[in-house]
Every structure is written in C-alpha cells, then in structure tokens.
Amino acid sequence: MVLYSQIYFLTMGYVMVAAVAALLAAGVLSLLHKNKRLHLIISSAILLVILVSSLTLSAYNQSFIVLNLFIVYPFSMFFTALFSMALLLVNMLASEYSTDYLSFSMLLGFSALGIFAIAMANSLITILLGLELITVPTALMIMLSGKKFIEAAMKLFVLGAVAVAAFAFAVSLTLPYGPQFALTPLSSNASVSSGYLIVLALLLFIAALSFDASLFPFNLWVPDVYTGAPGYVTAMMAGINKKVAFVALFEILIVVMYSLSGYFSSAFQVIAVLTMFFGNLVAMVQVNIKRLFAYSSIAQAGFIALGIATATQYGIEASIFQIAAHTFMIIGTFAIVLWLESKNIKTIQDYNGLNYRNSFAAFALTIFMLSMIGVPPLVGFVGKFLLFTSIIQVGFILLTALAVINSFISVYYYAKVIMSMYSKRDKERMDATWSINTTIAICLGFVIVMGLFPQSLMSASALASGSLLLIR
C-alpha cells in the first residue's frame, strides 16, 4: 500500500513536470494548426492536468527532486496549483481578447514554464531561468498586442533586464557560501563576519525580486506597464508574475538566507511600509481605473511583504494565504477592467452606473474591492488578519499600526469606485462575454467561499509554509 502510494506520488510528479513541458509544446504547436479554439481546449486541459496533479501531490507531505532543478513538495505544489488556476483564467481571457492569441499562447507556454520552474525551483539557477522566462515573454506579449503597447513593453523589457542582471549577480555572489546554487541554507560560515559579499548578495536578491514583486522603490515601472499593457496581460502580471516573485523571495530568503533574517526582516519592514503608503496614497488621486488598481495591487504587495518581514513560519503562512487571496481578487478585478476597457470605459467617471449596465459585474467588483479593504467575511479579511497577527506575534506593534492605517486609507479610493458604480441609474444594459463572466464567477466564488470557510486554504498555506521551512 505504501509502495503503491509512493509510485502514484512519483508518477503524478512526473506527469506534472511533463504537463508543463506539454504546455510549452502545445503553445509552439498552435502556431502550426492555427486553431484558437483547439488550442484553448488543449492548453486548458493541460493546465487542468497540472492543477489536478498538483492538488493531489500537495496532499502528500513529502518531497522528491526532479532533474536536480525542480522539487515537488507541499510548498511548490501549493503554488503550482494556484498558478495553474490563475493561468487557466488568464488563458481564457486572452483567448477572447487577444488580437494575436496564437503567438500569445506560445509566449504563455514559455512564461508558464518559468512560472512553474520558480514555483518548483530547487536551485538558484532554476529561479534565474524562470525569471528570464517570465520577463521576456511577458514583454513580448505586450508588444505583440499592438503598436500602442510598445512603450510599456519596452519599459518592462529594459527594466526587467536590469532586475535580472542584478539577480544573476547576486546568484554568483552566493557561490562561496553555499553548495553550488542549491536551494539549501547557506553553509555555517556564511555570516556577516565572514564578509559583506553575502550581504550584498542578499541586497541584490531583494532588489531584483522586489522589482518583480512591485515593492517600492523598485516598482516605479508598475503603474505605467500595468496601464499600458492589454488587460489580460495586466491580469497575468498582477495575478501571477508578481506572486511568482514572492515565491522566489520566500525560497531565497527563508530557505537560503535565513541566517540573515535579521537583515532582511528590517529591510522588509521599511519596504512594506513604504510600498503600502506609496500604493495607497497615489491610488487616492487616480482617475483611470486600471491605474488605480495598479496602485492598489502595489499596496497589496506591501501587505504581502509584511509576512516576509516577520521571517517566521506563521508570517510566511499569512503571506502565502494573502497571495492566493489576492491572485483571485486581482484577476477577477482586471477581468472586469479588461472587458470594460474594450467598451472604452476607463475612468471612474465612465464607471458611473455600471450597476445598471451589468449588476453582476458591479457586484463582483464591489466584493473584490471589499475583500481588498479587508472586510469580513471575505477572503481578503482572513489574509490581512493573518498578516496582522503574524506581525503582532513577533512584536512589531508600530508596524501593525502603520499597516492598519494603510488599510484604512485604502477605503477611500475603493469606496469611490464602488460609489461611482452604483450611481446614475439611466444606463442601457451591457452583457459581458462568457470568458469574462466565467472568470468573474470563479474568482467571486473563491473570494466568498474562502472567506466564509477559510480553514482549508489556511491549512494548505500552513502546510506549504511549514514544508518550506522544513527543507532548510
């Protein structure tokens, strides 16, 4: 029996890794058969396979290593499951709204490879590879969507290159301290007394990954690129790419650099507070909805960073929970934004009377925003609650107070959007397309159900964070 389950476990692991490869292959193949619908079905099926297998695998609290580059254990499986779900949604949105879906799907294949690589990374090289695989295809996705998107793509490309370069430099700096780029704790001689190089490495890691995780002040590109990119790519960047950077941060900081936790903890306290204030204060004056949500997602990233600042298992659990929660909130939100943008509805003013155009979309957006504020019983509340308790647990009362203040500031702009949606009654109806509706419904279901019964997600993230800290 034990043997059987062991075989099953290994099989599923290989199936999953194979499925990731298959996704890439399917992307490339789609350029040949040029059938959008077929590709959508194939890629969705593959993503479903990844989802199911990773969900199955995450039930096993054990690990095995694939090709020395990947590792299958609850932490990685949690994120493969999460990202495969998110990719399913983004893929669906893109299939309908992308002008060049086939090239998008090819790029998505590459991107997905990077995403899953980081989620399952067992070595710093894998992460570096993953970062490259994410940044470049994403920039290309934006660029291929049309001429007006080129500026955003170039910004992402140029700045992404800076970040990746910094990351690569940092990776090389770890060489004297660790066992050959593996994701294992630094050897015991790695401490500040042994040299500032490791500190420099830590610093560069934080900077490079903060760039992708949109943490201040490395995130100045975010509003421009999020606004300038087509909606489905924005959804992907905010919902997936950013979260992947957090995953990499967990892997590097908590696993590799844990002996330096004193350093990165204080750094992340500063970063988190700055990011929250930056995101929230600027969001208050935004008129363009997409830009507003770009800033909102920056602020949310600040909240997630609070978990890293604690450097405890519980803090990481809270961050993981909030990542999962925010992924769905923001993808749902950007799905609505994407749909309305295609109807040339962009500013808060334009959102007036959305409730009377499409009450489902308005309701969903309201729920997403309430969840982002942290209103119970929605999933965002549980996430924030876990984050706040995690920082109180380690005694950062002032930090908690600042986070609470930020939570409060955010009410202002979210409420503004809500109010605008529910004003002006005389509007003709507007129906959303199937992909939008499906995406919204899935995200809405997640936000409400996980808010009312958060225990399963909490256990899963606790397991994930526990397993992450176990392998060090």
Partner 1 sequence: MLAILVIVPLIMAAFAAILLRGSPNTVKYLALLASLVSLAIAIYIFVYPSGAQSFQWFNVGGLAFSIGTATQPINMLLLMLVSVITPLVFLYSIGFMDVPSEQPRFYFEMCVFAASMMLFAISSNLITTFIAWEMLGITSYMLIGFWYRKEKAPDAARKAITTILIGDIAMLIGILMIGASSGTFNFATIFTLPITSYLDVALILILIGAFTKSAQFPFHEWLADAMEGPTPVSAFLHSSTMVKAGVFLIAVMLPIYNSAGLLNIMLIIGIVSALIGVSNALTERHIKKILAYSTIEDIGLMFIALGLNAPYAALMLFFVQTFYKALLFMNAGAIMKANDEREDIYKIYGSAINGSIASTMLVGVLSIAAIFPLSGFFGKVSVEVASQNVVVYALILLMELGTSIYIFRWMFVTMRKSFDKSAPVEINYRSIPRSMIAPMYILGVLTIVASAAFPYVLRYIELGAGVVNYTQITVTDAAVSMVLSIFGIIIAYRVYKQGHRLHLESTSKALFNIVYNSQLVNRAYTVITELTARVANTVGYTDYAFDRSTYALSQGATSSGGIIKGIVNGQTNIYVLGFVLGLILLIFSFIL
Partner 2 sequence: MLPFIGMMLLTLIIGTIAAAVVDEGRSRRMAALFTGLTMIIAFGILVYSLITGSVNVHEDYIYYMVQFAVDFNFQLNIISFSLLLMATIVSFITALSGNTEHEREKTSSVLILLFELSAVGLFASANLIMFFLFWDVGVVALFFMLYLLGSANRRHAAMKFIVYEILASMLLLFAIMLLYFYTPVHSFDINTIIQNSPLIPTSTQWLVFFLLAGAFLINMPVFPAHLWLPDAHTEASTQGSMLLSGILTKFGGYGMILTFLLVPSGYTFSGFLGLLAGFSAFYAAFALMTQHDIKRIIAYTTIVEMSIILLGIASQNVYGTTGATYAMLAHGFGIAMLFLAAGSIGYMFSDRDFRALRGIIKSSVSTGYTMLIGIFATTGVPLTAAFIGDVLIFTGVLKAFSVYATIPLFSLLLAGAYLYYVINKSVLSTKDVTQNVEYIAREQKLGYSMLMFFIFFFGVLPFILLNFFSV
Element (H, E) at 456: helix 455-470
Other C-beta atoms lying within 10 Å of the C-beta of residue 472? 14
Question: Among partner 1, partner 2, none, what binds residue 365 when CB lies within 5 to 8 Å by partner kind?
Answer: none
Return the axis-axis angle of helices 379-393 and 289-310, rounded to nearest 10°.
40
Token output for 1 = 């029996």
Q: How far is the CB of 133 from partner 2 (least distance, A)?
A: 36
Element (H, E) at 462: helix 455-470
Q: How far is the CB of 318 from partner 1 (least distance, A)?
A: 22
The full DSSP string for 186-252 is PPTT-SGGG-THHHHHHHHHHHHHHHHHT-TTS-THHHHHHHHS-HHHHHHIIIIIHHHHHHHHIII
Binding site for partner 1 (CB under 8 A): 154-155, 158-159, 162-163, 199, 203-204, 206-207, 210-211, 216-218, 220-221, 223-224, 263, 266-267, 270, 278, 280-285, 409, 412
Nearest residue (CB) to partner 2, 137 versus 374: 374
Calculate the CA dihedral of residues 147, 152, 157, 163 and round it to 10 degrees: 180
Question: Among partner 2, partner 1, none, what binds residue 411 when CB lies within 5 to 8 Å by partner kind?
Answer: partner 2
Nearest residue (CB) to partner 2, 257 versus 370: 370
Nearest residue (CB) to partner 2, 326 versus 416: 416
* Residue 147: Cβ-neighbour burial (10 angstroms; 0-12, 13-18, 19+): exposed
Nearest residue (CB) to partner 2, 123 versus 400: 400
Q: How far is the CB of 340 from partner 2 (least distance, A)?
A: 21
Q: How far is the CB of 373 from partner 2 (least distance, A)?
A: 7
Question: Among partner 2, partner 1, none, what binds residue 370 when CB lies within 5 to 8 Å by partner kind?
Answer: partner 2
Nearest residue (CB) to partner 1, 125 versus 202: 202
Nearest residue (CB) to partner 2, 64 versus 363: 363
Question: Among partner 2, partner 1, none, what binds residue 401 when CB lies within 5 to 8 Å by partner kind?
Answer: partner 2
Distance (Å, whole) CA 215 – CA 303: 10
User: Is residue 311 left, alpha or beta, with left meaning phi > 0 and alpha meaning psi from -120 to 50?
Assistant: left
Token output for 434 = 């199937």
Question: Among partner 2, partner 1, none, what binds residue 176 when CB lies within 5 to 8 Å by partner kind?
Answer: none
Question: Among partner 1, partner 2, none, what binds residue 237 when CB lies within 5 to 8 Å by partner kind?
Answer: none
Question: Among partner 2, partner 1, none, what binds residue 75 when CB lies within 5 to 8 Å by partner kind?
Answer: none
Question: Among partner 1, partner 2, none, what binds residue 376 when CB lies within 5 to 8 Å by partner kind?
Answer: partner 2
Question: Among partner 2, partner 1, none, what binds residue 105 when CB lies within 5 to 8 Å by partner kind?
Answer: none
Q: How far is the CB of 255 from partner 2 (least distance, A)?
A: 23
* Rounded CA Rg of the chain: 21
Nearest residue (CB) to partner 2, 145 versus 355: 355
Q: How far is the CB of 375 from partner 2 (least distance, A)?
A: 5
Element (H, E) at 274: helix 261-284
Calculate the CA dihedral of residues 383, 58, 48, 103 and round it to 10 degrees: 70
Q: How far is the CB of 224 from partner 1 (least distance, A)?
A: 6
Binding site for partner 2 (CB under 8 A): 370, 373-377, 381-382, 385, 388-389, 392-393, 397, 400-401, 404-405, 407-408, 411-412, 415-416, 418-419, 422-423, 453-455, 458-459, 462
What length does the chain have? 472
Q: What angle do CA 135, 206, 132 make, to 5 degrees?
A: 20
* Residue 275: Cβ-neighbour burial (10 angstroms; 0-12, 13-18, 19+): buried
- Give the distance between the most distant pair of CA atoms in the chain: 70
